[in-house]
Amino acid sequence: MLQSQFDPAARQALAVEAVAAKTRKDLSWQRIADAAGLSVAFVTAAVLGQHPLPAPAARAVADLLGLDDDAALLLETVPTRGSIPGGIPTDPTIYRFHEMLQVYGTTLKALVHEQFGDGIISAINFKLDVRKVADPDGGERAVITLDGKYLPTKPF
């Protein structure tokens, strides 16, 4: 039976333990995702406490990281989501995403509503991809694709 967490502390503690094991074993998130058989974005989010993993994936991740049976079981639980505590984030990378939404949030909203109508883009039926590409002007660029199902608002 699928279980649900009501307090994020257990998953946060597991995330700390899992990241420490990842570091000790010099593993990439992609390697962990390959073991789980799921996308790197989803598995990374799950290990960091934002999604439950299916039982076979949870077992594979726990085995790869050297985590015990309780940790594998905890990886299967539905977490209390939200990885950024209240207020404006202070980590520079996370803050830049906050800044992007501060600058472009209303633009994204206007364009989504103009093209799709009144509704939202799902963060549940969702895919995320992060790629590094060469910048024609030199250096590198980050290409981040947020791919969510559009869910129209339904009058009732």
122 is catalytic: yes
140 is catalytic: no
DSSP 51: S
Give the tokens for residue 107.
């633009």
From the candidates 24, 81, 96, 141, give the one annotated as an active-site residue: 96
| C-alpha distance across the termini of the chain, in Å | 33
CB atoms near residue 4 (< 10 Å): 9
From the candidates 122, 131, 140, 141, give the one annotated as an active-site residue: 122
From the candidates 24, 28, 81, 99, give the one annotated as an active-site residue: 99
141 is catalytic: no
Q: What's the rounded Cα separation, in Å, for the pair 118 and 30?
A: 36
The answer to whether 81 touches 7, Cβ cutoff 8 Å, is no
The answer to whether 9 touches 17, Cβ cutoff 8 Å, is no
| Alpha-carbon Rg for the chain in angstroms | 18
Among the residues of 25-138, which ranges form H helices? Answer: 29-36, 40-47, 55-65, 69-75, 92-116
Active site residues: 96, 99, 122
